[in-house]
Amino acid sequence: MQKNGTTNEINLHVDIAGVTLANPLMTASGTCGYADEYADFVDLSQLGAFVTKSITAASRQGHPYRRVAETRAGMLNAIGLANVGLEAFLAEKVPLLKKLQLPVFVNVAGATVDEYVAVAAALEGVDPIRGVELNISCPNVKAGGIQFGTDPAWVSAITAELRRVCRKNILIVKLSPNVTDITATAAAAVDAGADALSMINTFTAMAIDVEERRPVLANVTGGLSGPAIRPIAVYMVHRVYTQVARPAGVPIIGMGGIQHAHDAIEFLIAGATGLAVGTALFVDPACLLSIRRGIEDYLRRHSYHDISEIIGTLKTDPD
């Protein structure tokens, strides 16, 4: 077998707007740090790409404790975009990421459009960074975050600004599920020049400590992720794929509750080209590799030779 992609019979390579990945699997932003934290648990070089946690211009401490809570079939987080900041990311984290020998997509966040632009501009031409994932969908920060991601006019404006600075890096816009019609924000991003869409970020949610009658999270609300959101994520990918992405020829990176190969295959059939795994990494970081093997087994069982043969192949007509 070649490095993390092709076996003799099965080709897992996918193309995300001109960036070739050896297989569709990547980390979901914010759930695998900057990679070095996970080095002892899983060989991340076997992935198709690595997606960093959100990077902002200055470092951020994030929200106070308690920032995460388990829920039935999922988790809530209100990390508040804690990160090392652009300068330390470039100086300390990029050299470590380089060792993975993978394309890296850097998730970018900010409180203002200018901050997004400054961070994205500084990532141009920095090896091994091949793409910027625009986080306009974080439900846990008041300035920026979800504010930008729920109004199609804002999505269009910020995507257009980022389009001007992302010349070498591909521009991936990460969509919020906290909207009435996700195809409207998807279309706004694509029309303003997004090279790819990633979806979905977390759902705004909360949990209450009934003994104390207080919110479990210090931020009161958090973002819900994990298996609980998967069927909604699959539905949203299906809608965006059929109504926006397929007609425009724009690839989707699907995520939301992927834990097993079956889940990943659902996203592929719904129309996702790339697959990101987040919450499941807290249970088993090595699930990324078992998911990849499971996709291969599925393709072999169905006599396919190339993963592209199943992407966007949902049958909705009566048998």
Ligand X SMILES: Cc1cc2nc3c(=O)[nH]c(=O)nc-3n(C[C@H](O)[C@H](O)[C@H](O)COP(=O)(O)O)c2cc1C
Candidates 57, 102, 265, 277: give the one binding ligand X (CB under 6 A): 277
Minimum Å distance from CB 174 to ligand X?
A: 5
Residues 103-142 that bind ligand X (CB under 6 A): 107, 135, 138
Per-residue x/- track, 12-51, ligand X (CB under 6 A): ----------------xxxx--------------------
- Count, residues near ligand X per rule CB under 6 A: 28
Q: Where are the alpha helices (DSSP H) in 20-106?
A: 86-88, 94-98
Candidates 11, 156, 202, 273: give the one binding ligand X (CB under 6 A): 202
Question: Does residue 240 touch ligand X according to CB under 6 A?
Answer: no
Residue 49, C-beta contacts closer than 8 angstroms, at least 6 positions apart: 16, 19, 21, 26, 102, 103, 104, 105, 130, 274
Name residue 172's beta-bridge partners.
133, 196
Residues 197 and 190: their CA atoms lie apart, in Å, by: 8
Minimum Å distance from CB 198 to ligand X?
A: 8
Please identify which of the residues 32, 138, 166, 287 carries the catalytic annotation.
Answer: 138
Here the tokens at position 314 are 């949902």
Compare residues 21 and 276 and give the one whose CB is closer to ligand X: 276
Residues 71-110 that bind ligand X (CB under 6 A): 75, 77, 79, 81, 107
Question: Does residue 178 touch ligand X according to CB under 6 A?
Answer: no
Question: Does residue 264 touch ligand X according to CB under 6 A?
Answer: no
Compare residues 69 and 304 and give the one whose CB is closer to ligand X: 69
3-state helix/strand/coil string of 153-220:
HHHHHHHHHHHHHCCCCEEEEECCCCCCCHHHHHHHHHHCCCCEEEECCCEEECCEECCCCEECCCCC
Task: Tell me which residue of 121, 115, 188, 118 sits closest to 149, measured CA to CA.
Answer: 188
Measured at the CA of 243, the angle between CA 242 and CA 244, to 5 degrees, comes to: 105
- Give the DSSP H/E element, type plus range, for residue 255: none
Here the tokens at position 266 are 């659902």
Candidates 11, 48, 53, 265: give the one binding ligand X (CB under 6 A): 53
Compare residues 177 and 312 and give the one whose CB is closer to ligand X: 177
Task: Examine the residue annotation and report whether 287 is marked as an active-site residue of this protein.
Answer: no
Could you say which DSSP state residue 18 is in? T
Minimum Å distance from CB 11 to ligand X?
A: 25
Residue nearest to ligand X (CB): 30
Compare residues 107 and 178 and give the one whose CB is closer to ligand X: 107
Question: Does residue 279 touch ligand X according to CB under 6 A?
Answer: yes
Question: Does residue 55 touch ligand X according to CB under 6 A?
Answer: no
Task: Tell me which residue of 213, 212, 174 sits closest to 195, measured CA to CA.
Answer: 174
Residues 258 and 229: their CA atoms lie apart, in Å, by: 9
Task: Tell me which residue of 7, 8, 24, 3 sits closest to 292, measured CA to CA.
Answer: 24
Catalytic residue list: 138
State the residues that interact with ligand X by CB under 6 A: 28-31, 53-54, 68, 75, 77, 79, 81, 107, 135, 138, 174, 201-202, 225-226, 229, 255-258, 277-280
